[in-house]
Structure 1
Amino acid sequence: MTLLSSSIVHLPITDPTWIFFIVLSIILFAPMLLERLRVPAIVGMIFAGILVGPHGFHVLDRDGSFELFGKVGLYYIMFLASLEMNLQDVQKIKGRAMLLGLLSFLFPLLLGFGANQALGYGVAASVLMASMYASHTLIAYPIVLKYGLTRRKAVSIAVGGTIVADTLVLLVLAVVGGMFKEHTTDNYLLWLLLRVIFLGGAIILVFPWLARKFFRSYDDSIVQYIFVLALVFLGAGLMEFVGMEGILGAFLVGIVLNRSIPPASPLMNHIEFVGNALFIPYFLIGVGMLINVQAFVDNVNIFLLAGVMILVGLTSKWLAAYVTQRTFRMQVEERNLMFGLTNSRAAATLAVVLVGYRIILPDGSRLLGEEVLNGAMMFILVTCVVSSFVTEGVCRKLAVTSTAQTDNEDSTEDRILIALANPQTVGSLVHTALMLRTPKSNIPLTALNVVLEDDPESRENGLKELERAVKIGAAANVRLVTRSRWSVNVVSGISHTMKEFNASDLLLGLHEKDRLTDTFFGKLTTDLIAAVERQIIISKNIIPLNTITRMHVLIPRKAEFEPGFNHCAERLALLASQLSCRVDTYGGRGTLAAMQDYWESKHHSVVAEQHVYTEWRDLISIAHNTSQNHLIVLIAARKGTLSRHSYMNKLPEQIERYFSSRNVMIIYPMQLATATSNTTSVRTAVPVKMR
């Protein structure tokens, strides 16, 4: 009781337990209360920080915990922004991102410099304050994340523009700050650029290599999460060591790890969950604590300065988004989304104003006085509020449109059934299914284990496999339905389950030979290919899929005339998007054109290079272009179908000869029940002639 009274009655609260409880209460209740008022949760966090902070009711001090978690949250925002980017989209829109970034820097810098000169500030102070207007932090990015719009073009452009604008701002900060250091040399800027370039190159080369090695050796999601977080802080710390802000390092680490952490993976879900639940809200509350409302009452001139900052900041960012939209003929919603994301200030703005505040001039005054510091706090608050409201409004409209489009699609086209039999391939198959499914789909995955009627021990082992599959799905925030089925025949059990669940795809592992007399596919897979007319995906993963850097897709001639061609193309596009890797397609001209047309109409982000290929009887030329980090995808065809060719009889032999040490995926696209001349008895799994 003594501890309670001494901690709560006497403000500010200093007991760590109660500090953490109050922060968690704010994180919990602020979004719930403000959602009724249609106020973004981000705004609520900042206002809560004002109320409980030193300049409000002083319930809490801005102690070391807010410094620590706030910095983690700041790095998290920048890291998530680059990690969520679709790098294939970025390759196509890098010109737009560069233009938006340059305009987001130049417009505020020029307008701000003129306004600051008119207010009577010196050249150095005017440049530093103008660079403060030019910066922006992706405060509203969690809103985009919440609505599942992270891979839209406008978002990628805004995120790409952020790194351009903030890098230029940080360079200005380093130059102006360096001018007032005692031991600054004439080559200070040159050495700074060289250090940043060298460090950036080291991160780009070394970090992806480290990630691939680590992910291949350790599959525990918690260990992987700690490893990723360590890389983020290592990159941020090294960037601070060479004289730049750590946010640049965190952003760069997100870019280089982008391909190693697919959006649908459990690891990505862990990263998003921890950041959005704790670190980012902590940072936002800490930002609110910096705002001193009383200072505006004591000094009315701060209102004038803050008004100029807000006017210049909002106008210049809107102009940058407007010019980008008009230049590339984008939609109004895309312009508003770019404006909403690039309008908020926090990280780089705080860095600029604090550096200027700490610089003491020869006459004893500060380069940026207290009025600039307090005005900057109001500037940060208003821009964050405007950014949150604009982004929330645009995301609501875009989300409604996306939902309507999704509702119009056939829901049966995303029901994946995973056949589990080998404990060693459970994790690999479930992770593959997560990457093949449609993102944000409400349809659960289905995992099946078929047990022969006279084998109760296998049933127990199968239940353990299904339980493990459920845990992997839950880690990725995906519901997975399990089914343990007794059957006199494995093929009939799988076939019946496919019909009962109206499954669109059957995913299973590649048969492992136990005897020299075994065939490549094995009897079970061969019978399934004949018995199941839905799409069958046979997967063999030697290395984790998230370490794949390239896909080679072999497509038979006339495959575009098969009924399951579009569905197969859809699955390949989803996989390429998750892996953020390039795709090389091999086939006839007409077939390649049909595949490319589908991807351009449905998945513009897929970057594919076409190769007209005719040497199907020997795949050695393709094998020479592959490496251990590549995935080989062979689209096959059932006997009697239009795209079936005689060379397919030798595919198993060629796979064993050329791709035995590669990840391989063999796809049999969906066929109509009457497409083949042979079918299989569901009960006996013995091929019989159709009458």
Structure 2
Amino acid sequence: MVFLNIIETSLPLTNPVLKFLIILIIILIAPIFLGKLKIPHILGLIIAGAIIGPNGFNLLLRDSSIILSGTAGLLYIMFLAGLEIDMAEFKRNSAKSFLFGMYTFLIPMIIGILVGIYILDFSTITSVLLASMFASHTLIAYPILSKFGVTKNRAVNISVGGTMITDILALLVLAVIVGMHNGEVNMQFWIKLSISILVFGFIVLYVFPIIGRWFLKKYQDKVSQYIFVLAMVFLGSFLAELAGVEAIIGAFLTGLALNRLIPTTSPLMNRIEFVGNAIFIPFFLIGVGMLVNYKAFISDFETIKVAAVMTITATSCKYIAAWLTQKSLNFSIDERRLIFGLSNAQAAATLAAVLIGYNVIIGETPDGEPIRLLGESILNGAIIMILITCTIATFVAQKGARNLSLSGTQTLEREENENEERILIPISNPETVEELINFSTLIKSKSNKHGLYALNIVLNNTSTEEENQRAKKILEKAEDMAASTDVFLQRLLRYDFNITNGITGVIKENNITDLVLGFHSGKAISENFLGKLTNGILSNSDATTFVYKAVQPMATIKRHVIIIPAFAENEIGFRFWLLKVWNISRNSGAKLLFYAPSRTLEILLEIQKLHQIEAEFKSYNTWNNFSEIAAEVMVDDNIILVLSRENQTSYNKEMNKTSDLITTYFPNNSFILIYPRQNGVSEEVLMGLNNPSLLPPIERLDKAAKDIFNYFKGSS
């Protein structure tokens, strides 16, 4: 009897434990059940919210807890859009984003005003506010694109940039209309709004990165880092509201500000995406579903009329904008689907506009009933419009994303030996494990099917049980670190009489293509170390070898300075290490600065045209004097020195003085030494890469570049 008394029997439920349990069950079951019906999980959560909400079975109210979690989910979507965007692509496409932003704002505004006045018979001010609802949109479908791995597509970049433009303009229209009603729109209003937006933008885009870099350098605790990022998101959102714009703008700009501090392959990014997709974003979608009032749709003809007109108008305008963008920029049909899918969903800004308009009283009826700027029929019609547009958007975005993802998978087909990337990380010091794993995930290609290999060598002649246990714990730590980035890591514990023999043996036994060696941050690199490396590992293995010393976390690096010797392009391993350097920029968004002879720069510039990243290229021919480069190197730069094995094409005797050069010119910077791979290309390629005398210079360049392009295409 006592047990029965504590069970709630009345609806809606108020027991917090039971409420949370029901929501978790929905988050778990809705995507699984509806996935079998080919219905996007996002739409499933919205439908589930409508079923359990106050207008459905009334299991739950859309109370403050749902609103709070939903608000966090909406901000999360916008933050992730800014965080995952390719910054180099975003800058290059700024003009295209502006074009789409104007299309997707002006077309709905013009058509919406005409529809409001001539079809729905609304007043001019009501029609303008209605049109601003059509112009704005929410990136509801963004998690779908993230799932299919197409968030860095140019169409997505343009859509996200255009979203910010149209939402800002639509919300400004809303602010002006409310201000006009309150009699506040004057010169002082515009000055105050302009100054507050400029101050807000400066703080978020320029001050936030400084704070973020300082915090991530100083504090390595994973929980603290996540809470810090979450706090920055809400701080940016609050500052946006203080400036007079919606919080979603602040969340997006915070994502842009922290973009380069949180690489896509980092454990922190993995935690951010996991918590958002598991908790916050589903809460938002369920909350949107709770707003749906199907009863109004079937009982009131005026609501049916308004909802139908609003839905058709909004969808048509967004499709026209997407179609014009596709034709103007020569995009594919699937890229148009991405643009339309991202821009058609009406939710956040639409809700803001309709609720504010509904609460603005412009008069009274003879019976004393309030006359609202936006009536109840528009409120209910907007909810129906949100449901239908979100449904259309999710289906269209899913189709476009799936097609592009399949197309991208096909480009990964290439020679078997190139597709079998295997990265080995010998580890012995617990203090360097985290940075070595982070660095390895940063250079890893998408086509990598084997994950990472972590190796610890226990010396047969001196090992003790304590040392054996220590080796196992270090490998377990490496495995945990890799798992936090969703990367599989294979642990290798080897017993050998010699560390060098152990490493080279594992390289041969496992067909290792890339070797990552760590160097303790508290020690200075010595000629003795390089000598043992050269005479031991380098002389007995052909793998691309990276020697990495981390002075600061890789995520806090602003720029990578790559110094390349003469004739590096003639080395067999040129394209292999170059792809890894390209991956650093792709996965972290950091800028690359190349110093190389003009002949090498020609190839790099050709690659840059086809596989664009944010990079700068400078001609440099003197290897033994880095004073000119050192003068431009800053505190947060990472130095990458491309070296060579002795007797190879790009080998220079001055490379024997590498430790002195680093100590003299870059004593306080992180650095990476790269020794190119010495096998893995066909005889035909060798003719073009290793024997320049057999071909005229321009033909040699074309031959080398073509082969490198094909390798990049297969690994991107």
TM range (shorter): over 0.9
Q: Check if 1:428 corresponds to 2:429.
A: no
Residue 523 of structure 1 corresponds to 532
Residue 463 of structure 2 corresponds to 455
- SS of the aligned residue for 1:486 comes to strand
Q: Once the 2 structures are TM-superposed, how far is the Cα of residue 369 of structure 1 from its aligned partner?
A: 0.5
What are the residue-to-residue correspondences of 1:437-476 with 2, within 5 Å?
Answer: 437-439=444-446, 441-453=448-460, 454-456=462-464, 457-476=466-485
Counterpart-to-counterpart distance in 2, 1:323 and 1:5: 62
Counterpart-to-counterpart distance in 2, 1:650 and 1:487: 31
Instruction: Report which stretch shifted further, 536-545 or 515-524.
Output: 515-524
Deviations 1:295-331 (A, max 9, x none): 1222112111111111111111111111111111111
What are the residue-to-residue correspondences of 1:348-359 with 2, within 5 Å?
Answer: 348-359=349-360
Q: Aligned letter for 2:392?
A: V
What are the residue-to-residue correspondences of 1:339-350 with 2, within 5 Å?
Answer: 339-350=340-351
- Judge conservation of contact 1:357–1:368 (CA < 8 Å) in 2: yes
Q: Aligned letter for 1:27?
A: I
Residue 570 of structure 2 corresponds to 561
- Judge conservation of contact 1:412–1:503 (CA < 8 Å) in 2: no
- SS of the aligned residue for 1:187 comes to helix
What are the residue-to-residue correspondences of 1:105-144 with 2, within 5 Å?
Answer: 105-118=105-118, 119-144=120-145
- SS of the aligned residue for 1:551 comes to strand
Q: Which runs of 5+ in 2 are unaligned?
A: 365-369, 687-716
Counterpart-to-counterpart distance in 1, 2:4 and 2:554: 52
Residue 480 of structure 1 corresponds to 489
Relative distance call for 1:483 and 1:230 in structure 2 (3 A) is same
Instruction: Report which stretch shifted further, 526-535 or 99-108.
Output: 526-535
Counterpart-to-counterpart distance in 1, 2:450 and 2:371: 64
User: What percent identity do the matched residue pairs reach?
Assistant: 40
Relative distance call for 1:439 and 1:222 in structure 2 (3 A) is farther
Counterpart-to-counterpart distance in 2, 1:531 and 1:479: 27
Counterpart-to-counterpart distance in 1, 2:441 and 2:553: 13
- Judge conservation of contact 1:459–1:484 (CA < 8 Å) in 2: no
Relative distance call for 1:103 and 1:416 in structure 2 (3 A) is same
Q: Check if 1:607 corresponds to 2:607.
A: no
Deviations 1:173-196 (A, max 9, x none): 111111223666542133112101
Residue 655 of structure 2 corresponds to 648
Counterpart-to-counterpart distance in 1, 2:339 and 2:321: 9
Relative distance call for 1:470 and 1:368 in structure 2 (3 A) is same
Which of 493, 503, 520 is equivalent to 1:494?
503
Residue 386 of structure 2 corresponds to 380
Length, aligned pairs only: 673
Relative distance call for 1:209 and 1:440 in structure 2 (3 A) is farther
Q: Once the 2 structures are TM-superposed, how far is the Cα of residue 215 of structure 1 from its aligned partner?
A: 0.5
Q: Once the 2 structures are TM-superposed, how far is the Cα of residue 511 of structure 1 from its aligned partner?
A: 6.6
Instruction: Report which stretch shifted further, 274-283 or 552-561.
Output: 552-561
- SS of the aligned residue for 2:412 comes to helix
Instruction: Report which stretch shifted further, 502-511 or 446-455.
Output: 502-511
Residue 396 of structure 2 corresponds to 390
Q: Once the 2 structures are TM-superposed, how far is the Cα of residue 101 of structure 1 from its aligned partner?
A: 1.0
Q: Once the 2 structures are TM-superposed, how far is the Cα of residue 524 of structure 1 from its aligned partner?
A: 4.4
Q: Check if 1:97 corresponds to 2:97.
A: yes
Counterpart-to-counterpart distance in 2, 1:150 and 1:345: 20
What are the residue-to-residue correspondences of 1:65-464 with 2, within 5 Å?
Answer: 65-118=65-118, 119-181=120-182, 185-363=186-364, 364-408=370-414, 410=416, 412-439=419-446, 441-453=448-460, 454-456=462-464, 457-464=466-473
Q: Once the 2 structures are TM-superposed, how far is the Cα of residue 440 of structure 1 from its aligned partner?
A: 7.0
Counterpart-to-counterpart distance in 2, 1:102 and 1:413: 46
Instruction: Report which stretch shifted further, 68-77 or 450-459.
Output: 450-459
Instruction: Report which stretch shifted further, 435-444 or 405-414.
Output: 405-414
TM-score by length of 2: 0.91
Q: Once the 2 structures are TM-superposed, how far is the Cα of residue 33 of structure 1 from its aligned partner?
A: 0.7
Q: Aligned letter for 1:559?
A: A
Residue 679 of structure 2 corresponds to 672
Counterpart-to-counterpart distance in 1, 2:132 and 2:291: 20
What are the residue-to-residue correspondences of 1:606-625 with 2, within 5 Å?
Answer: 606-625=613-632
Deviations 1:1-59 (A, max 9, x none): 65656644311111011101110111111111111110001111111111110011111
Counterpart-to-counterpart distance in 2, 1:520 and 1:70: 55
Instruction: Report which stretch shifted further, 44-53 or 515-524.
Output: 515-524
Relative distance call for 1:33 and 1:524 in structure 2 (3 A) is same
Counterpart-to-counterpart distance in 1, 2:113 and 2:568: 61
Deviations 1:173-225 (A, max 9, x none): 11111122366654213311210111111111211011111101111221100
Counterpart-to-counterpart distance in 2, 1:187 and 1:488: 80
Q: Once the 2 structures are TM-superposed, how far is the Cα of residue 404 of structure 1 from its aligned partner?
A: 2.5
Counterpart-to-counterpart distance in 1, 2:83 and 2:647: 45
Q: Aligned letter for 2:72?
A: V
Counterpart-to-counterpart distance in 2, 1:440 and 1:218: 33
Counterpart-to-counterpart distance in 2, 1:654 and 1:550: 20
Deviations 1:508-560 (A, max 9, x none): 11377979986252524652122221100011110111111111111111111
Instruction: Report which stretch shifted further, 279-288 or 93-102.
Output: 93-102
Relative distance call for 1:87 and 1:512 in structure 2 (3 A) is closer
Q: Which runs of 5+ in 1 are unaligned?
A: 676-691
- SS of the aligned residue for 1:414 comes to coil
- Judge conservation of contact 1:569–1:598 (CA < 8 Å) in 2: no
- SS of the aligned residue for 2:623 comes to coil
- Judge conservation of contact 1:520–1:652 (CA < 8 Å) in 2: no
- Judge conservation of contact 2:420–2:450 (CA < 8 Å) in 1: no
Counterpart-to-counterpart distance in 2, 1:357 and 1:673: 68
- SS of the aligned residue for 1:573 comes to helix
TM-score by length of 1: 0.94
Q: Check if 1:660 corresponds to 2:661.
A: no
Deviations 1:242-265 (A, max 9, x none): 322111111110000000000000
Deviations 1:609-647 (A, max 9, x none): 211111222001001111111111111110010111233
Instruction: Report which stretch shifted further, 503-512 or 48-57.
Output: 503-512
Counterpart-to-counterpart distance in 2, 1:463 and 1:39: 45
Residue 594 of structure 1 corresponds to 603
